[in-house]
Structure 1
Amino acid sequence: MNNYIVETNQLSKDFSGEVAVNQLSIHIRKNEIYGFLGPNGAGKSTAMKMLLGLLQPSHGSIKLFGKTFNSNQISLLSNVGSLIEEPSYYANLTGYENLEIIQKLLKLPKRNIDEVLKIVKLFDQKDKLVKNYSLGMKQRLGIALAIVKFPKLLILDEPTNGLDPAGIQEIRELIKSLPQKYDMTIIVSSHILSEIEQMATTVGIVNHGQLLFEGHLSDLEEDEKYLFETSDDVTAKRILMFNGFNLDDNKKLIINDNNKDNIATAIRLLVENDVDIYQVCMIRRSLEDVFLDMTGREGSVL
Structure 2
Amino acid sequence: MITLENKNLMVKISDGRGARVEHFIDKRTGKDWVWKYSPEVKKELHELDGFDENWEGGWEEVFPNDAPVEINQFKLTDHGELWRRTWQQIPTVDKSEALFELECETYPVIIQKRFHLSESELKINYKIESRASMNLPFIFKFHPALAIEPGDEFHMPGSYMEPVALGFSRLIGIDRKTVFPIGVAESGEYVNIQKALPEDGHTREFVRLSQLEEGMCAVFNPATQTRLKFQFPKDIFPYVWLFQSYGGFNGHYVSMMEPTNAGHYDLSEAHKKQECGEIRPGEKLDFSLRLTLEPLMNV
**TM-score between the two structures when normalised by the length of structure 2:** 0.26
Q: Say which structure, 1 or 2, has more relative contact order (CA 8 Å, 6+ apart).
A: 1
> Structure 1 or 2: larger helix share?
1
Larger radius of gyration: 1
